[in-house]
Amino acid sequence: MAAKSTPMMEQYHALKQQAEGCLLFYRMGDFFELFFDDAKLAAGILDIALTSRGKDGGGDNGGEPVPMCGVPVHSAEAYLARLIKAGCRVAIAEQVETPDEAKQRAKAEGRPASKALVKREIVRFVTAGTLTEEALLEPRRANRLAAVCDVRGTIGIASCDISTGQMVLETCEPAAISAALARIGASELVAPEAWAEADEETIFRPRSDFSSDDGERRLKMIHEVKTLDAFGDFDRAMLAACGGLIAYLDHVGRGNLPLLLPPETRSSDALLAMDEATRASLEILTSQQGGRAGSLIATVDRCVTGAGARQLAEDLSAPLCDLDTISRRQNMVRYFHQDPLLRADLRDVLRGLPDIGRALGRVVAGRGSPRDLGQIRDGLAEARQLRDFLAAKPDQPALLEALLPSMGGHGALVDHMQRALVASPPTERQNGGFIAEGYDAALDELRQVSGNARRAIAGLEARYRDETDIATLKIKHNGVLGYFIEVPARHADPLMAADSGFTHRQTMKGAVRFNSLSLHEEAGRISEAGGHALAAEEAHFEELTAAVVQDRQTIAATAAALARLDVAAGQAERAAEGNWCQPEMRDYEVLEIRSGRHPVVEAALTATDERFVANDCTLDNDDRLWLIGGPNMGGKSTFLRQNALIILLAQAGGFVPAEGARIGLVDRLFSRVGASDNLARGRSTFMVEMVETAAILSQATASSFVILDEVGRGTSTYDGLALAWAVVEAVHETIRCRCLFATHYHELARLADSCDALSLHNVRAREWKGDLVLLHELEEGPADRSYGLAVAKLAGIPKPVVARAKAVLGKLEQGRAQTGGLAAGLGDLPLFAAAVEPEEQPEDILADKLKTIDVDSLSPREALEALYELKKAATSND
């Protein structure tokens, strides 16, 4: 028979059940312990010792020793951070009564007190999307949680960053879901059970959680309103997703909801649409290597606060499509760009600001510390001063004028907190010491009482030394005995006497400890006053917290305004540093970029003292598709991407790396790179290339901007050329959007004859004394040759191999000259639009036959015969 579980293990198994697949942190004294598979997994991730305890027959353990590992409670956050990073979710089971209480309970229930087991409960789930702790969050990155659901064919998405309370509701078509989720970049995604689009990391919740009625009800309750009209227009799908999101937050917080600000709606039309492949290939927030280094944001970000950096990341992931808002943002950048002194002053102030948005998040979530309150106080006070400073400046741009009012208005709260809190409050609240002197007379008195008693104890020490003649007598304090008198053992005897006035407490090696009535009294005063003082401070903490919670929306608005200022000043700084310009924005299809540069490639080159060659790009309705040829490494990809990035930066509301730019608003941005390795997803590279290209052909509009880099490269020469040819034609004839197409197929140059809005360009290269010189300069006209062998030589292919390749190439070119080359058969290919004929309808014999039958004139026998005939025709038709 299998061994039974101990009561503790039974309790553990019950809690583990409730943990729903999360790792269970089981509190035992000063440690959180993990058992069984949890322990094995955590020990591996955390690199801590895996031990074992007792034996257990519960669960499926079958009486084996229980694997176990533990982390100290005081440093649990650092371990949690690593587990969350590794993709784990953790349930925290705390002791919810003291051992004494457990014993009392046992007695009351008639069980032996010695076997009393402390009650434990899961108090919280820690998951990637629901963090608020400073130590677990990255300061410069938002941390989002998203919930999705499908309401009659419309996808609702609710997302929030509970570290700052920001919440966004949106809807999209089922086809656009992955692009929307890629934009949001949530660290945790919640969906109804059996949701078809789920991946292995999706968290499933009951379908009933995603109820639009519940969503609406809970939003109204949280924000204490009767209707949601003031916040925006929300449809059923949005509210259902919101219901799912709030239900999940409720679940992980065990009924404690975090900070949630009124939801904003986001319409996907208002944003520049970019799908996941485009985001990845443009390396907006992370480079292809996976980190921030080498990404667009890493070269653009000059924000001096974490909140600013988070706002910039959001701006770059969701650029706008609305001329007015874009111009307002750009004009504020210009304002700070034109005035370097103002910019420097502003940035100096911002640099010293605490992250009030996140401090607020912790306070509202009930995990705030006195330090968080102090940060909010200091941040709000600084914001008010900054407002006064900026308001005094002439000619403010409209956006700045709109932001300034939300930076003040907390006068009473700030004054209150300035009176109540000490200058730098501690992160721990249980030891007190954060309420300032003079704020609460009763508290001051309690502190005076314990201060007096402390002084009295010091006085006692002097008096006892005198009276006993023991110069080494000391009064000390520890956690077990409290205050005590200590003398060296050799002086202890006189104090042991019954009438000495001292009572013996403890004999140590070399020292003996005593108590005395006076000491006992003074110590009692200290502990009583101390206890009351702590309780008073705790009450003040609650009251200050409530005041902050009350003002949460306006505090969050101040935080948002400061972040926006930081973004603008940072963009201005970056522009000044790199000689960037304010683009002119237009509402028609144009793209004129003078001396544009790729910010990331340029930064990399500058670091090694190389020069980036700037290039122009001019596209309009008459010349909207550039076919770009030239040698490998010539700079084609760089040119394609720099133009896409310039559009993105402009529509995000910033300046751009160019001498001048006129940009017609783009509704969708597509970037495709031929045959990039994407085997991880289990599709062949060519398949991926085609799936991604298909998306462009179905989604791009005349206002889109498309860059295609060597599409068709992933298959055989003939297939690739044919596909590239057809894609270029479709983009040119049907979609008619602005497009840059890099290719190494010379044959495509022939398209210039038939496509009138297409022109040929190439990146220049020269061979000089047998060596290839890449000029990285774009010029008009087809590429003269591919320089493949020269590139091979540059790359270090051994000379004999290059020589042999040269000979082979000679033969091949001879052959091509004779046959007319790869594209020899293309001379009389009709134009794309003409070539696409409607598919022929198969002829319908049955219908024809039926039409000829005059039913009224048929005898029953003839009718039967006709039926047989029809049946025969139908079968032969199959």
What are the residues binding ligand ADP (CB under 6 A)? 601, 605, 612-613, 632-638, 763, 776
**Distinct helix (H) and strand (E) counts, the chain:** 30, 27
Q: In terms of Cα–Cα distance, which of 59, 61, 64 is closest to 14?
A: 59
Minimum Å gap between C-beta 323 and ligand ADP is 30
Amino acid at 205: R
- Give the burial class of 872: count Cβ atoms within 10 A of its Cβ; 0-12 exposed, 13-18 middle, 19 or more buried: exposed
Strand partners, 266: 170
118 to 29, 36, 38, 91, 94: CA distances (angstroms): 10, 21, 22, 18, 10
- Give the burial class of 625: count Cβ atoms within 10 A of its Cβ; 0-12 exposed, 13-18 middle, 19 or more buried: buried
Minimum Å gap between C-beta 633 and ligand ADP is 4
Minimum Å gap between C-beta 364 and ligand ADP is 47
211 to 196, 216, 218: CA distances (angstroms): 18, 9, 11
The residue among 642 and 759 lying less far from ligand ADP, judged by its C-beta, is 642
Task: Name the 3-class secondary structure at 454.
Answer: helix
Minimum Å gap between C-beta 774 and ligand ADP is 7
Q: Alpha helix locations (H) across 64-205?
A: 76-85, 99-108, 177-184
Minimum Å gap between C-beta 775 and ligand ADP is 9
- The DSSP H or E segment spanning 737 is none
Minimum Å gap between C-beta 672 and ligand ADP is 13
Minimum Å gap between C-beta 635 and ligand ADP is 3
The residue among 408 and 635 lying less far from ligand ADP, judged by its C-beta, is 635
The residue among 632 and 715 lying less far from ligand ADP, judged by its C-beta, is 632
DSSP code per residue over 159-173: EEETTTTEEEEEEE-
The residue among 583 and 657 lying less far from ligand ADP, judged by its C-beta, is 657
Structure tokens at 835: 């070539």
18 to 252, 293, 422, 476: CA distances (angstroms): 11, 41, 42, 47
Task: Name the 3-class secondary structure at 433.
Answer: coil
Closest-by-Cβ residue to ligand ADP is: 635
Minimum Å gap between C-beta 738 and ligand ADP is 19
The residue among 347 and 636 lying less far from ligand ADP, judged by its C-beta, is 636
CA atoms 331, 334, 339, 341: torsion sign: positive
760 to 198, 362, 780, 784: CA distances (angstroms): 44, 58, 6, 11
The full 3-state SS of 309-332, as one line of letters, equals HHHHHHHHHCCECCHHHHHHHHHH
Minimum Å gap between C-beta 627 and ligand ADP is 14
Minimum Å gap between C-beta 604 and ligand ADP is 7
How far is CA 58 from its chain centroid?
40
Minimum Å gap between C-beta 708 and ligand ADP is 12
Minimum Å gap between C-beta 762 and ligand ADP is 10
The residue among 211 and 638 lying less far from ligand ADP, judged by its C-beta, is 638
The residue among 156 and 657 lying less far from ligand ADP, judged by its C-beta, is 657
Minimum Å gap between C-beta 748 and ligand ADP is 15
The residue among 487 and 707 lying less far from ligand ADP, judged by its C-beta, is 707
| 655 neighbors 582 (Cβ within 8 angstroms) | yes
The residue among 317 and 643 lying less far from ligand ADP, judged by its C-beta, is 643
The residue among 57 and 294 lying less far from ligand ADP, judged by its C-beta, is 294
Amino acid at 577: E
The residue among 22 and 296 lying less far from ligand ADP, judged by its C-beta, is 296
Q: In terms of Cα–Cα distance, which of 780, 776, 798, 811 is closest to 631?
A: 776
Rounded Cα distance between 252 and 205, Å, is: 12
How many other C-beta atoms can be found within 10 angstroms of the C-beta atom of residue 149? 28
Rounded Cα distance between 281 and 672, Å, is: 7
Minimum Å gap between C-beta 156 and ligand ADP is 41
Minimum Å gap between C-beta 749 and ligand ADP is 16
The residue among 130 and 632 lying less far from ligand ADP, judged by its C-beta, is 632
The residue among 320 and 763 lying less far from ligand ADP, judged by its C-beta, is 763
Rounded Cα distance between 847 and 878, Å, is: 15
| 70 neighbors 24 (Cβ within 8 angstroms) | no
The residue among 347 and 776 lying less far from ligand ADP, judged by its C-beta, is 776
Rounded Cα distance between 421 and 437, Å, is: 9
The residue among 526 and 633 lying less far from ligand ADP, judged by its C-beta, is 633
The three-point CA angle 42-47-48 to 5° equals: 80
- Give the burial class of 766: count Cβ atoms within 10 A of its Cβ; 0-12 exposed, 13-18 middle, 19 or more buried: exposed
